[in-house]
Structure 1
Amino acid sequence: MHVTFRQLAIFNAVAEKLSFTEAANALHLTQPAVSVQIKRLEDSVGLPLFEQLGKKIFLTGAGKELLHYSRNIFHELDEAGEMFAQMQDISRGTLNVSVATTASSFATRMISAFLKQYPATTVRLDVTNRGTLIRQLENNEKDIVIMGKPPEAMDLVGEAFMDNPLVVIAPPDHPLAGQADIGIQTLQREPFVVREPASGTRAALEKLFSRCQISPAIQVEIADNEAIKEAVAAGLGLSVVSRHTLELDLQAGRLVILDVEHFPIARHWYLAYRRGKRLSPIALAFKALVFEQAPKMAEALSP
């Protein structure tokens, strides 16, 4: 059945007024033009939609059914129009963003700043590991992802917005705590607590160890950054984490940063999304805020 929106709009007008003449006047059309469109619609449906009794017209059974569906169609279109208007209106939109677990400490502050500017906005935030972030990017599930360096094999836009220094951490009573210029070969004798193999932090650490020809023992492997810090504080080994995750731990004296050769490892935080993706107005506004906030955030996180 081939039916156009124009035919349905004309049908609705005739059905509501039960008059071809009044419907034509309301639509600023001629009566013959209205009659032609109703005839074409009846041909498409295969049933008469109106019947004339004397000087009056009435809806047939098929006409009543079509009016029900036609009204629903235009109601859905109106709702879609309202939804699109909300998507264009930053103040009322929804932002879908995912961030790496290691980025959550500063990403939540950026989201807080964003919501202060746009308090009626809804933010759907997912804090997860790198493997899940990559899957979400593959499936185009999120507006924007905040992560370490995006995989080069994927067709992504990755825009670096802030440094992400990786440092060696230890409990404050560790023998190396407070020492200056620790040679990286010293780490060969130390057990390590590390992230899962898919982690960008672990990949950067293994790359450095390989270049320096050392292979410290992996004591514990944990897929959660906070749990890694707890393990280090408990004396299970050293670890390498983003400096940006340590603000509260350093203030509380639970952990210390070791002054080790070749550290910090220089990395960056990125905004990532699928290449060719048309960012919504709200996503563009969040992206602009991230770049605006990044210098102040980096200074606050790395005093």
Structure 2
Amino acid sequence: MHMTLRQLTLFKAVAQHLSFTRAAAELCLTQPAVSIQIKQLEGHMGMSLFEQIGKRIFLTDAGRELYGACEDIFARIDALEISLNELQGSIKGQLKLSVVTTAAYFTPHLFKAFLQQYPQVHLNLNVTNRTSILERLANNEDDLVIMGQVPERLHVTAHQFLENPLVVLAPPQHPLVEQSNIPLKRLAQETILFREVGSGTRLAIERCFATQDLELQTNMELGSSDAIKQGVMAGLGISVLSQHTVTLELATGALKLLDVENFPLKRYWYVAHLTEKKLSLVARTFLDFLLTNSQNVIQDVYQLLNDGGQGLSELSK
């Protein structure tokens, strides 16, 4: 039996997506090219790896066996690359990260600063919601994950690396903008735009209101922080978001902070991994970078934004 690493790479992608089209797109190939390689692999093995039922494909028993072997093979190759890099003392190789969608507003600045120091690191970034982050964390799919709330039901090691204040936002013309120390009870009367159920930000808000036995009767659920910001600017209601998501809007005056009792809610960003996971040299280096440099990098970004147009041009460099 003769098979190549390329064929195994293509098979693994198809098996993960259960789709030739999505696997081809991920690997920047045409679907026919992927199909030909899989057919050749099946020919070498003498058995089918996928079966088609209707418009969907599924792994056969042989396919499931090969997929398990692929996981093993590529994990060993990754481990070998890490070991060789560590022997050389060089910081290079792949860094697989997943971040919650809210963190995508500030993490690119951290990645830029890190990659300037370690240009031979290849960043593989996945941006998704909290539910998917928890699944990926449980399945050990990434080197590290960045999230706003540490899961209670997983055995993880998590490090605080940056403050994550939650602030109350309103459009500039909102009547509460001019008021001070607004009671939480008054805020509960407003239409509040929320992220989806299960998001870290929403959980924090609900817990805050629950401390005063307040129920949020009037709310609207939107699927992203960008949609919420647009909704607030359009006058659909107010919202509570991480301050990191609204830095630009606050600097330009498109949104205003409300002075509400108990706010900002003091929270933190965490970088986490399964406790039993052995971090690669690249992952350990990135973790150390976050713990040491995050605050200064983000403060510099805020300063540039507050400096106006010149600052924005500097950020794009």
Tell me the TM-score normalised to structure 2 length: 0.67
Q: Quick one: distance in 1 between partners of 2:133 and 2:78?
A: 32
Shift of 1:302: 6.7
Q: Please, which runs of 5 or more residues in structure 1 have no aligned partner? A: 1-76
**Conservation of the 8 A alpha-carbon contact between 2:189 and 2:218:** no
Amino acid at match of 1:241: L
3-state SS in 2 of match to 1:228:
helix
2:132, 2:253 → 1: CA distance?
Answer: 32
Root mean square deviation of aligned Cα: 2.2
Is 193-202 or 83-92 further displaced after alignment? 83-92
Name the structure 2 match of 1:85.
84
Q: Report the secondary structure of 1:99's partner residue.
A: strand
Report the equivalent of 1:181.
Answer: 181
**Distance in structure 2 (CA, Å) of the matches to 1:152 and 1:301:** 32
Is 1:259 matched with 2:263? Answer: no
Whole-angstrom CA distance in 1 between matches of 2:183 and 2:98: 37
2:175 match: secondary structure: coil
Structure 2 unmatched ranges of 5 or more: 1-75, 304-317
The whole-number CA distance in structure 2 between the counterparts of 1:218 and 1:145 is: 33
User: Which is higher, the Rg of structure 1 or of structure 2?
Assistant: 1
Alignment pair present for 1:139 and 2:139: yes
Rounded to whole Å, the distance in 1 between the matches of 2:231 and 2:221 is: 10
How far apart, in 1, do the equivalents of 2:92 and 2:158 lie?
A: 27
Change (3 A) 1:78 1:192: closer
The change in CA–CA distance for 1:175 and 1:142 in structure 2 (over 3 A counts) is same
Name the SS of the counterpart of 1:176 in structure 2.
helix
Q: 1:80 to 1:302 in 2, by over 3 A?
A: closer
Q: For 2:79 and 2:135, locate their aligned partners in 1 and report how far apart those are by CA, in whole Å.
A: 29
* Match of residue 234 from structure 1: 234
User: In structure 2, what is the Cα distance between the partners aligned to 1:172 and 1:272?
Assistant: 37
Hey, what's the Cα distance between the residues in 1 that align with 2:210 and 2:164? 21
Alpha-carbon shift at residue 105 of structure 1 (Å)? 1.9
Deviation track 1:130-173 (CA, whole Å, cap 9, x = no partner) reads 11110000000000001012111111111111111111101111
SS in 1 for 2:178: coil
| 2:50 alignment counterpart | none
Q: 1:81 to 1:195 in 2, by over 3 A?
A: closer
Deviation at 1:189, TM superposition (A): 1.6
Tell me if structure 2 keeps the 8 A contact 1:247–1:301: no
Separation (CA, whole Å) in 2 of partners of 1:138 and 1:249: 35
Counterpart in the other structure of 1:102 = 102
Q: After TM superposition, give the deviation of residue 264 of structure 1 in Å.
A: 0.8
Deviation readout 1:182-235 (Å, 9 max, x if unpaired): 111111220010011111111110011111122233432123111111111111
State the AA in 2 paired with 1:246.
Answer: V
Q: Deviation string for 1:245-300 (max 9, x for gaps)?
A: 11111112111110001111111110110011110000011011111122214535
Residues 80 and 208 of structure 1: CA distance in aligned 2, closer, same or farther (over 3 Å): closer
Q: Which residue of 1 aligns with 2:56?
A: none
Q: How do 1:1-303 and structure 2 match up within 5 A?
A: 84-86=83-85, 90-297=90-297, 299-300=299-300
Q: Given the two structures, how large is their TM-score scaled by the length of structure 1?
A: 0.70
Q: What is the CA-CA distance between 1:87 and the residue it aligns to? A: 7.1
Amino acid at match of 2:239: S
SS at match of 1:157: strand
CA offset digits 1:98-125 (Å, max 9, x no partner): 1111111221111111110111211001
Q: Could you tell me which residue of structure 1 aligns to residue 30 of structure 2?
A: none
Which letter does structure 2 place at the counterpart of 1:85? L
How many angstroms apart in 2 are the aligned matches of 1:179 and 1:158? 38
Letter in 2 for 1:289: F
Question: Does 131-140 or 178-187 show the bigger shift?
Answer: 178-187
Opposite residue 260 of structure 2, the aligned amino acid is: V
Q: Distance in 2 between matches of 1:165 and 1:215?
A: 22
Contact 2:155-2:275 at 8 Å conserved across structures: yes
Q: Secondary structure at the match of 2:146?
A: strand
- Deviation of residue 81 (structure 1)? 5.2
Pick closer, same or farther for the CA change 1:291–1:247 going to 2, 3 Å. Answer: same
SS of structure 2 residue aligned to 1:85: helix
What residue identity is the alignment partner of 1:193? L
Contact 1:87/1:282 (<8 A) preserved:
no
Cα distance change, pair 145–220 in 1 and its aligned pair in 2 (3 A): same
User: Per the alignment, do residues 83 and 167 of structure 1 end up closer, same or farther by CA in structure 2, a change over 3 Å counting?
Assistant: closer
